[in-house]
Structure 1
Amino acid sequence: MNIKLKLLATLVATALTSACGDTKHTLTPVETPATQQPDGSGSTGDDHGHTEVGIEGRLVVSTFDSNVLAVLSAKDGEHIDSIGITGYPQYLYATEHHRYVMAVQRDAGMVEFVDGGVWQEDHGDHLHPYEQAPSLVDFALQGVKPTHVNAGQHNSVVFFDGDKDTAENAQVMVFDESNITNNDRDFATLDYSTYQHGAMQTVGEYLISTIRDEQSSSTLPSQIGLFHGHGDHFDQDKVFDVACPSLHGSAQSSELVAFACADGVVMIDTHDNAFTHEKIMNPAEFAEGERIGMLRGHPEKDLFIGSSGTGVYAIDPSNSSVEKMEWQASDDARLSAAYFSAEGEHVVLMDSAGVVSVFEGHTHDNEYHWELAHNITVTTSDLAQMPAEHGFTMTLSQSQQVAYVTDPINQHILAIDLENGEFAHTFELDIVPKNVVWLGIAGEAHEHEH
């Protein structure tokens, strides 16, 4: 595949609401680059060679109905390589340390892994960065309908839904980057006795995962279980004594795991493996049938963001509050992406019309609030020109305060500076981008995804 990419110095005024002009942007890093030592010398002091590795990382981009992934430099959009996998991946996710992309081929029942080629290793007195060509690795997962994927601080998890029509059961597979690197199949799997559209989070050697009543007519679970890992399998320790009807959506914060139910959100306290729970009920102002169905968390904040489809809410377990954020989708649009930034300073929302909203967190009267800082419109092009089966998609850098957004109409990827809400770069493609994910050496904090 011939993929031509270039860095545009300015944005075309007729295509975008804001132009870079001649402004030189300095993007804010999450932390000191991995090649620099705590004393600021930039030298590791050991006797083996070190290659300078930039903090910007790489982007992996898919195209609709294609089995080829494009790997680009997140610094300047340079095309690094094109990697062929078995089939078309419906979803792309990064593993726990952002070295590999998990290419989820739900229809084919397969998850393949591409090494982004940028990572670091702990050498005791320093972290050693590495950079090499991206590649498809041998490690892969197979199961029925891989759907929900999480990348935590120490491992990655894939929930295979199973299939009602073929009576194939659900599974959860928990593994880490060392399994992928070494093609090591020695990881734990939870095997269910029924199908379900489930959700899960890992806490150390424990898995908190959903349970579906086998007699239920719904594919959604209604209970939450605690499972303890033992080698290649999990044993059930308990079922939490709380109903969670039509469970859909989970997330994790520093010491809490949250699951979204039709009537509220269950919070499980994981401190010292206590595994106690409380439930925050839906607020009275919710319309009939409204419920939280998507959750986001961050490992350094005991706060969550939830979406009900019609609104986005800040959930504070410390006071059991569910506060509606000052966000509204564009006309005839819906929420299409929501993320915490790498250090949790921002919440970044995007609707299906390509409007990106950046919120900044503030404490006022001992309560935490999210205030709108920037609204950025990705394109002023006629949205009717959006290619079939496409939409705007977004990924966040975990080393800089940057969001990358695909624009399938104009075949662009745009880099947005979260600090000032301006376009930092535009990468012009000769492919139509479908999904995008950031890979590289992350900062100290990275988000948990559902």
Structure 2
Amino acid sequence: MKICMIGVGYVGLVTGTCFADKGNIVCCIDTDQEKIKALNSGIIPIYEPGLKDMILDNKQNGRLEFSSDLRNSIADSLLCFITVGTPPNKDGSADLSYVLNAAREIGKCMDNYLIVVTKSTVPVGTTDAVRDMINSELKARGKEKLTFDVASNPEFLKEGTAVADFMCPDRIVIGCDKGPIAVCMRELYKPFAHSENKIITMDIKSAEITKYAANAMLATRISFMNEMAQLCDKLGGDIENIRRGIGTDMRIGSQFLCAGVGYGGSCFPKDVNELIHTGQKNGFEMAIASAVHKVNEGQKKYFVDMIKKKLSDNLQGKKIAVWGLAFKAQTDDMREAPSLMIIEELLKMGGQIAVYDPEAMEQAKQALKKENHKIEYANDMMRAVAHADVLVLITDWQEFREVDLDQLKKVMRQPVIFDGRNQFDPLEMVKHGFRYYCIGRNCYGK
């Protein structure tokens, strides 16, 4: 199939590349000329394991191209996916201006039948709004008899494993109102679904809500475990034992049950807030989603307060090393990363900050640009921690787990660690002579 992909951000780039890898002809469109130029030069704007090689291979084989010419791209395409961003407004609602502008441009350019698919995360009713916008533009051109259809196909990619998630998905959700559209979408996704049961068709509004419901459910699990971790710190339990104890229950499962400094990224914070806003707009209080958001915001403060309490609220003259900046491992994404708030608070306490992340250093410099003159960006993790009085671990990269603890203690001025991801064994850390503080494991006598 020939496919047009509008928006070359995270979702569009992964989706377009994976479609191309299964033999489709894909043209990815973006108004950002510099990004298109970079992609055509082999420069990939995001870090995602396996993505760069796949892009280069499919581009070389003529199945994948990057352009700013929408009219030419949709001229002979059957499917046009909208994968632009939906950033949050100040009130928590999703900004749909990019989605509706994409729909407007489709209406201005299309001259043949087209299936327009919203893949961006959008609140219920957006796909209908896309349909209305395209119809409006066609009418203005005197082409109201030109036919098209719309569908919703939300993405469920996890940053760090997005390529693997797309190539072998848990499920594929397709929202449409016509049988032939479902048949076409099933044919497109057939190479990715080894079982037909993985492809779930439903009405458009249910598909739109499904994405928000999934992310809110996962965010709820994280916030619940963080709340349980705080209770453990008060009562003396071990959140890791509790995680194993409930995660082996088949009704619960083990995923998204790790306590830490709270969730971040481009999806969970935005989608939980949009769900809250949607409820408010329709006169309904989303009580659970509101509580999830509140707990998550409080968890970052809880970690900072732990540091303040243990260090007597004074970091003047002390070097603080920070390991991990991205919101999670295996990505360079700094959107809503807990590290941003934590670093700002450490700076307020007078700390001299040195940071290191395997992939997110350049993105962190942009996110922290107002504070960059106060921050040392180290070339490797051991250089960041050299002569440090305190190490604060925020992102759970594998290389941090594999550190030589004896060497780590040797290079630090003082062996003090605050572990925001519970990466290390508390007893092992004490054995190696560290003052070790983590989340929800207070039973080890911190």
TM, length-normalised to structure 2:
0.28
Which structure has more helix as a fraction of its residues?
Answer: 2
Which structure has more strand as a fraction of its residues?
Answer: 1
TM, length-normalised to structure 1:
0.28
Give the number of the structure whose alpha-carbon radius of gyration is greater.
2
Higher relative contact order by CA 8 Å / sep ≥ 6: 1 or 2? Answer: 1
